[in-house]
Amino acid sequence: MAQVTADLVKQLREQTGVGMMECKKALTENEGSIEKAVLWLRERGLSRAASKSGRTTAEGSVGVLVSANGKEAVLVEMNCETDFSAKNADFVNFVSEITKLALSSKATSVENLAAMSLNGTPVSEVLTSLIQKVGENMQLRRVKYLSVSNGLIAGYSHMGGKIGTLAVFEGEASEKVSEVAKDVAMHIAAVAPKYLKREDVPSSEVEMEKELSRKKLIEEGKAADKLEMILTGQVNKYFQEICLVDQPFVKEQKFSVLKYVQSTGIKADLTAFARFQLGEGIERNQVDFAAEVAAQLKN
């Protein structure tokens, strides 16, 4: 019998999209033959997941979970092809379980999380089985773990998992801080800041914004000696749009987020945040529904 090596298992996994343990079993049953192992998997419907790997996955859910003591939290984005499948009980349960695992394991990357074990089975294999059962391509897209030693983290889930946010406060960990942090987490969901503060904005981005504004002002015929003053104002306005602490607070527009936090009198500072919006950055294919149903029936 041919030896089943790690390289053979890797090759079969890449070819079929099936989990490592199933690939190893297929190779063992077929004396290390890749060709026979592929057929063996197909006969059992296990390589079905591979045929779906190229489909766009822009639906799904963002899992949000904060530890009981408020010191740790995670966001996990899990994608599928349709909103219908995102409501499937098995999919919902998987998102819940994988989010719990991400928090308990302090997962820092998708690769790290996929290699872990979920109820005794590698996450990658559980996901492959779910793809086969539901009949859609699915992807564990991203994970964000945050923690704080002194203070707390608040999380917020919007529209049933379409958006997930975390707001980190360092300092005291009181009920009042928790309330303020939840308000800020909701603001993050609504206004979508890119950076925490203006010092975090790359200088190249600031210069590009200045250059675009300068060209526009020149085209409008603004006086050359007024340009720098106007540009300073426009850059400040840009910071107010993209930086969390400078944004007008969604529930009290007369305050910036920073001023709102300071006005509450809490002894804690907003030091970090995270925001996942489902499917952001993914180009969505326009699919004819009837054609999609027909394609599903053929699989």
pLDDT above 80 for 109: yes
Q: By the 8 A CB rule, do 75 and 276 touch?
A: yes
Kindly indicate the confidence band of residue 31, based on its pLDDT and cuts at 50, 70 and 90.
Answer: confident
- Report the pLDDT value the prediction gives residue 298, as an integer from 0 to 100: 45
Q: What DSSP assignment string belongs to the chain?
A: -----HHHHHHHHHHH---HHHHHHHHHHTTT-HHHHHHHHHHTTGGGGGGGTTS---EEEEEEEE-TTSSEEEEEEEEES-HHHHT-HHHHHHHHHHHHHHHHHT--SHHHHHTSEETTEEHHHHHHHHHHHHTS-EEEEEEEEEE-SSEEEEEEEETTTTEEEEEEEEE---HHHHHHHHHHHHHHHHH--SBSSGGGS-HHHHHHHHHHHHHHHHHTT--GGGHHHHHHHHHHHHHHHHBGGGSEETTEEEEEHHHHHHHTT-SEEEEEEEEEETTTTPPPP---HHHHHHHHHH-
- What is the CB-side half-sphere exposure of residue 185 using CA atoms within 13 A? 26
**Closest listed residue to residue 16, CA positions, set 172, 158, 125:** 125
Sorted by where each starts, the structural domains of the chain and their CATH numbers stand as 6-52 (1.10.8.10), 55-147 (3.30.479.20), 198-264 (no CATH)
Angle value at C-alpha 111, between 110 and 113, nearest 5 degrees: 65
**Taking Cα atoms as reference points, which of 131, 103, 118, 121 lies closest to residue 47?**
131
Q: Which residue has the higher pLDDT, 218 or 245?
A: 245
Q: What is the pLDDT of residue 143?
A: 97
* 73-89 residue pLDDT tens: 999 999 998 888 899 99
Q: What is the pLDDT of residues 260-272, one digit of tens each?
A: 999 999 999 999 9
What span, in angstroms and rounded, lies between the C-alpha atoms of 248 and 256? 4
- Mean pLDDT taken over the chain: 87
- pTM value? 0.77
Residues 153-209 pLDDT 10s: 999 999 999 999 999 999 999 999 999 999 999 999 999 999 999 999 999 999 988
